[in-house]
Amino acid sequence: MIDETKLKNFLLKKYYRDLFKKRGLKSATFEILNSCNFKCVHCYNQNLKPCIMDKELAFRIIDELVDMGCESVTLTGGETTLHPDFVAIYKYCHDKGLKIKLFTNGYFLNKYFDILRAFPPDQIEISIYGVSDDTYLRVCQIKNGFTIVDKNIRECKRLGLNLRLKSVIMQQNYEDFDEMLTYCQSLELPFRFDINVLNSKDFSNNQEKNKLLPDEYELIMNKVRKIRTGNWISYLTRENMQSDGEYLYSCGAGRISLFVNCLGGVRMCNFAEFTEENVSDKSIKDIWQGFEKYLNLPKDKESECYTCEYKKFCSNCPVVTYMEHRTDGTKILPVAQNCREAKFIYESVKNDKQTRD
């Protein structure tokens, strides 16, 4: 009998492989500012110099992206809804025919119900950092956080907007995990979450206080294991990065997507700082061409990761390696939290298979 999940994964992979080969910009993630009303303990933007992109520059960038054939844009931050020209930028993207995905902490959404109802985005992705005001205070250092975000989530749902919720599970909020799942189920909203915490962009190496401790990690992953039995791949937010293909970079970054930060820096993806060039020096089209040198890099057969038995379940990549080890983007080296995750999944899949057999 045909295994439907395997067939679906195979066809999806083939579709993306063909698309990547053609190399053409389809989607962009656009950080319109890096400031925020929350002070999340894990935020990768912490300690960065605040920046808010000028509206006219944002319009120019959107024009260039559209001219290159870009079809969709993800507006992110910082907190997107805090941008003083949020409505103008949102409307500009809409008028240019771009599909819009909005990343937000949900706190100020009530200010924008009119525009969101009039010009609905493709999707709003709201981060939930817990299901109580106490947890929000611990994670986001904001008072009444859950009460306000919950109210806005319910109103967005009532308006029929396409919502998805997400979270990062850490020491400060893992005790809310079951209730987060129940919350999303009760609202019939899709939920995705990360357990790995990236280093901050200023490389302060300050995330150890947030990452789940070994027993907390086991507890959460065993819960995840029960929910996701047989389909671990769908748990990974970035699936199966290293398993096949000849190139070091095997995802869509620089092939079908790019990232623009609030200073006009254009990168292959949010964290690939080493690929950055600025729109004030070059057209985005030229910057895009320059990514080629990374995309052509072959896999390093000497790397420990190349022969690793867990790699099929590992979401490490040259950029994750860079964030951890400050490398130059030309190699993949072991990253402890990715090893922990890949090993756990590998062993769970093996045990589940043995139990089935």
Ligand X SMILES: C[S@@+](CC[C@H](N)C(=O)[O-])C[C@H]1O[C@@H](n2cnc3c(N)ncnc32)[C@H](O)[C@@H]1O
Bridge partners of residue 345, in order along the sequence: none
Helices (H) and strands (E) in the chain, counts: 12, 9
Contact between residue 262 and residue 32 where contact means Cβ atoms under 8 Å apart:
yes
Given candidates 28, 32, 33, 42, which one binds ligand X under the rule CB under 6 A? 42
What are the structure tokens assigned to 235, written together? 């748990």
Token pair in block for residue 208: 């150890």
Select the residue interacting with ligand X from 32, 62, 77, 163 (CB under 6 A).
Answer: 77
Gyration radius from the chain CA atoms: 20
Contact stretch for ligand SF4 (CB under 6 A) within 32-40, 91-99, 190-198, 323-331 = 32-40
76 binds ligand X (CB under 6 A): yes
Q: For the CB of residue 186, give the shortest distance to ligand X in the complex, in Å.
A: 21
Whether the Cβ atoms of residue 38 and residue 80 lie closer than 8 Å to each other: no
* Residue 119: C-alpha distances to residues 73, 80, 93, 113, 123 (Å): 15, 16, 11, 10, 11
- Give dist(CA 147, CA 128) in Å, integer: 11
Q: Decide: 83 and 34 in contact? Cβ < 8 Å.
A: no
Does position 334 interact with ligand SF4 (CB under 6 A)? The reply is yes
CB of 335 to ligand SF4, least distance (A): 5
Q: Determine the interface stretch with ligand X among 99-107, 239-247, 256-264, 345-353 (rule: CB under 6 A).
A: 99-107
Stretch that binds ligand SF4, among 76-84, 186-194, 204-212, 245-253 (CB under 6 A): 76-84
78 forms part of the interface with ligand SF4 (CB under 6 A): yes
Let me know: does 235 contact 224? Beta carbons within 8 Å.
yes
Contact status: 198 vs ligand X (CB under 6 A)? yes
Neighbours of 179 (CB within 10 A): 13
Tell me how far, at minimum, the Cβ of 259 lies from ligand X, in Å: 12
297 in Cβ contact with 275 (< 8 Å): no
**Binding flag, residue 314, ligand SF4 (CB under 6 A):** yes
**Closer by beta carbon to ligand X, 28 or else 288:** 28
User: Are 162 and 124 in contact, with CB atoms under 8 Å apart?
Assistant: yes
Select from 168, 184, 262, 272 the one that contacts ligand X (CB under 6 A): 168
Nearer to ligand SF4, 6 or 39 (CB): 39
| Distance (Å, whole) CA 102 – CA 80 | 8
Could you say which of 54, 122, 134, 304 contacts ligand SF4 (CB under 6 A)?
304
Residue 289 Cβ vs ligand X, minimum distance, rounded to whole Å: 28
Residue of the chain from 28, 32, 41, 43 that contacts ligand X (CB under 6 A): 43
Q: Note whether 288 binds ligand X by CB under 6 A.
A: no
Residue 31 engages ligand SF4 in binding (rule: CB under 6 A): no
Which of 334, 310, 313, 314 lies closest to 324, judged by CA? 334
Letters for 121-140 (x = contact with ligand SF4 by CB under 6 A, - = none) are -------------------x
The pair phi, psi for residue 258, each rounded to 5°, is: -150, 175
Task: Name the segment binding ligand X (CB under 6 A); options: 41-49, 89-97, 178-186, 292-300.
Answer: 41-49
